[in-house]
Each structure stands twice: as structure tokens, then as C-alpha cells.
Amino acid sequence: MTLFSSIDSVMRGMERRFDRLAGRILDSATVTMPMDAIRRPGEILLRLDVPGVDPGSIEVAVDRGVLSVSARREESYGKDDGVFVRERASGTFTRRIHLSEHLDADRVEAAHDNGVLTVRVPVRERARPRKMEITGGAARAISKRSGDPDAGGAAIAARPAGKEW
């Protein structure tokens, strides 16, 4: 028995104990794809890390307002390979993001570049901030009007210039 073979068996034993402990604590080895979410004018940009993943295994789908991203990474080892440290996860990874009704789920776009999946979700036109043009000489005031579902409880009422309410 050489020094390296004794270290190898100690490392394997430590890894088995750690895996058992982690499995009990986490109930399963759950791995997620790290993600950044950025709000830009007109869109939400999601960047997910998918290093070592075959781009052909990545699936992006939207179903009932939920964006799902799935990817698969496989590792293969030879018959004589003795893995004594395994920190990189393999298998299928899925990330689900609930989309707001203000986002346009029909126009989602995805691209993969250099181990990063970028998903663009446009904001619906009606949800985008906008400025209203003020025209004419009459001042306008916003007043509450209950029971008007089209106005969302608010209406714009015109007040002639120089007149009090």
C-alpha cells in the first residue's frame, strides 16, 4: 500500500460520509442554475449559468405563466477511473420563474453563449411607463369615480380655467 492509495481510500470514505450527511440535511442533492435578473426598459433579462452543458440539451418553455428552463449535464468516467472528489453536479437541472401578467410570454427569446443562457422577456406594451401629453387650455384633475370598471376607479374630469370645483 502506497501513500497515494491510502490517501485515496481516506478521501473516498470522507466523500461517502459527507454525501450521506448532505443527503439527510438537504433530503436530496438539489442543484439550481445560478441566475441574475435585470429589469431594462421594455424587458426583463435573465442570465443563467449553464457551464459544461450541451446547448442542445437546454429547453426553455412557458406554460400558464411559468417560464421553465431545463438543462442536462452528463459526466462519464472510465472503468478504471477512481473519482475521489466530485463537486460538479451532473444530471438534469430545472429552474422555474413565475411571470407577471405584465410580461409578454408569447415573445420570449433565449440565446446561449459561452456557458451563459440569456432569456429575454418583453414587457407588454400596456404595462410600459409612458408620459401623457397635455393639450388645450383647460386644466385637468383626477377624481375617484366608484363603480366604473373601465376607469379602474379613477376618471379624468375637465375643469374650465379659472373655475373652482
pLDDT along the chain (165 residues), means of 10: 55 67 51 87 93 93 94 88 83 90 93 96 81 75 52 46 51
Distance separating alpha carbons of residues 69 and 14, to the nearest angstrom: 34
This prediction has a pTM of: 0.60
Would you call 111 helix, strand, or coil by DSSP? strand
Please report the pLDDT score of residue 75 as a whole number.
85
pLDDT of residue 124: 87
What is the reported pLDDT for 103?
92
Tell me what pLDDT residue 41 has. 87
> pLDDT value at position 156?
44
DSSP assignment of 119-153, as one string?
EEEEBPGGGS--PPPP-SS-EEEEEE-TT-TTTTT
With the CA atoms of 87, 28, 60 and 126 taken in that order, what torsion angle do they form, in degrees rounded to the nearest 10? -120
Task: Report the C-alpha gap between 165 and 160 in whole angstroms.
Answer: 10
Question: Cα–chain-centroid distance for residue 123?
Answer: 15
What is residue 28's predicted lDDT score, i.e. its pLDDT? 43
Q: What is the pLDDT of residue 122?
A: 94
Residue pair 48/35 in contact (Cβ under 8 Å)? The answer is yes
| Per-residue pLDDT, 86 | 81
